[in-house]
Amino acid sequence: MVQRLTKGIKGRPRAAAIGGGVAGIVFLAALAPGLIAARAPALASEPGLYRGARTSLADGGHRTSRIDYERLDQRLRVAASKPDMIGMAVAVIENGEISFVQGYGVTAANGGEPITPNTVFRWASLSKGVASTLMGQLADEGRLSLNEPVARFNTTLRLPAGGEQMATVADLLSHRVGIPHNANDGKLEAGMDPKALRASLATLAPACAPGTCHSYQNIAFDTVSEIVEKVTGQTYATEVRRRLFAPLGMQTASVTRAGLMSARSWARPHVGRTTVDVNDNYYRVPAAGGVNSSIMDLAIWMRAQMGYAPQVVSPRVLETIHQARVNTDRRGTAFARVMGPSQYALGWRDYNYAGRWLVGHQGAVKGYRATILFDPEARSGVAVLWNSQSGRPSGVQLEVLEMLYGQPRTDWLKLDAPGAGGGVTPEQIVQ
């Protein structure tokens, strides 16, 4: 089928597919000019420049803020005390400034340390936006074309009926390779080799022809890591660090299990209130789910995706990776009803909220959840990381958006009613 681009929210090109305790609150909106300047792209190649953002900073007040940070903090404290919660970290950007960074709860249910802005969590599928940004950089440099077939790179990916000859790199990044949803994920979780699993995708019944429908993937998506290694001659983790994390000053960010577990403070994964082992499965598909970082570094990443680090992530790259490519099926959840129809770009999902174009993604691996959602034009957004399988923190983004856009307030955290449950359910977290 043919893809048709139409004008959408705020004139943005859109695609229509045819067919506990509180630890370390940091308010940054009124920072001294010097620290804000340190985030400027001219200095971005010096990885140590964000160090000041990790120290105790005084709250100097918020310029023209639409967000009631005191109310937000109070509600997050209550949410963190619920039995379905262990720990969580929240960051808000308003008008281009990191205005709120706070940790809640603990790193482990039994004897854990307080969560701080520097506590490291897993990003899960938020990692896909890192992969797309890296591929966008390589395309911008002329090292590859997003429109060339995946087969050109001689990867291990094999699709039904030789579909790798037709599926483009952009198809790969937007989950349009034509195979069933989350194909072979169960086998990956059983310990099988992802490269062997990519080769075996050829035996599946196709869901559609490559490039014609959206079907979310992890194993197929991670073909990106092979492409990066073949184009650059370096490992995927090395290139991510060299091209993105180090220039942006993301000091806690990594792409391996060792990177998580070697952090000075890291959140242990939980199922219910039981601490579980850190599963290696999705670290073996690093482009799909291998990134770790603190909430502070995720805020820095979000700010870069808003255009504040053009020497690292250029406007051309952002335009390419944020542009909607295909409509996506949405389940009949409260979140979906509020957001309206969603579309998938390259490693990112596009939403329509209150007449605004938003970009975001969600992530989930055993014992961890993550979400990011931002308005590139208003240069405001919210990110949340947590170390449990509760759906409650997914409501944070909607409560922040309601304040940001002056919408009627809804109890998305499910705190106000007696006996309120766990907020937005895990089934409402759509990757």
Q: What is the pLDDT of residues 142-192, one digit of tens each?
A: 999 999 999 999 999 999 999 999 999 999 999 999 999 999 999 999 999
pLDDT tens readout for residues 225-270: 999 999 999 999 999 999 999 999 999 999 999 999 999 999 999 9
What would the mean pLDDT of 403-409 be, rounded to a whole number?
95
Looking at residue 127, its amino acid is: S
Which of 24-33, 105-114, 173-182 has the lowest average pLDDT? Answer: 24-33
Distance CA 68, CA 147 (A): 45
260 vs 55: CA distance, rounded Å:
21
What is the rounded average pLDDT of the residues 303-328? 97
| Contacts of residue 30, Cβ cutoff 8 Å, sequence gap at least 6 | 59, 60, 61, 62, 63
User: What is the torsion angle, in degrees rounded to the nearest 10, for the CA atoms of residue 34, residue 37, residue 43 and residue 44?
Assistant: 120
HSE-CB for 243 with a 13 A CA cutoff: 21
Q: Is the pLDDT of residue 420 over 60?
A: no
Residue 10: pLDDT over 80: no
What residues contact 330, with CB distance under 8 A and at least 6 apart?
336, 339, 341, 342, 430
DSSP state of 409: P
Q: What is each CA distance from 172 to 16, 199, 219, 399, in whole angstroms?
A: 18, 15, 11, 33
Q: Are strands 368-375 and 270-271 parallel, antiparallel or unpaired?
A: unpaired
How many residues belong to the chain? 431
Mean pLDDT (the chain) is 85
Predicted local confidence at residue 333, as pLDDT: 73
**Phi then psi for 4, rounded to 5 degrees?**
-115, 125
Tokens (6 digits) for 164: 């790798």
30 and 100 Cβ atoms separated by less than 8 Å? no
The DSSP element (H or E) to which 327 belongs, if any, is strand 326-327
State the DSSP code for 254. B
For residue range 284-312, list pLDDT tens digits in order: 999 999 999 999 999 999 999 999 999 99
Tell me, what's the pLDDT at 341?
A: 80
Q: Please name which of 170, 163, 124 lies closest in space to residue 144, comparing C-alpha atoms.
A: 170
> Could you tell me the pTM of the whole model?
0.87
List the one residue out of 226, 167, 160, 162 whose CA is nearest residue 193: 226
Evaluate whether 358 touches 379 at the Cβ level (below 8 Å).
no
Question: Domain 3-132+235-428: which CATH class?
Answer: alpha beta
**Mean pLDDT across the stretch 122-139?**
98
Hey, is 45 helix, strand or coil? Answer: coil
CA atoms within 13 A on the CB side of 417: 10
Look-up of token digits 């090292």: 143
116 φψ region: left (φ > 0), alpha (ψ -120 to 50), beta (else): beta
Is residue 354 within 8 Å of 377, Cβ to Cβ?
no
pLDDT at 338: 87
Residue 418: predicted pLDDT:
60
Tokens of 8: 């959408």
How big is the chain by its Cα radius of gyration, in Å?
20
Q: Tokens 């089934």 label which residue?
A: 427
Q: Give the number of other CB atoms < 10 A from CB of residue 162.
A: 12
Model confidence band, residue 219 (pLDDT cutoffs 50, 70, 90): very high
Q: What's the rounded Cα separation, in Å, for the pair 76 and 90?
A: 9
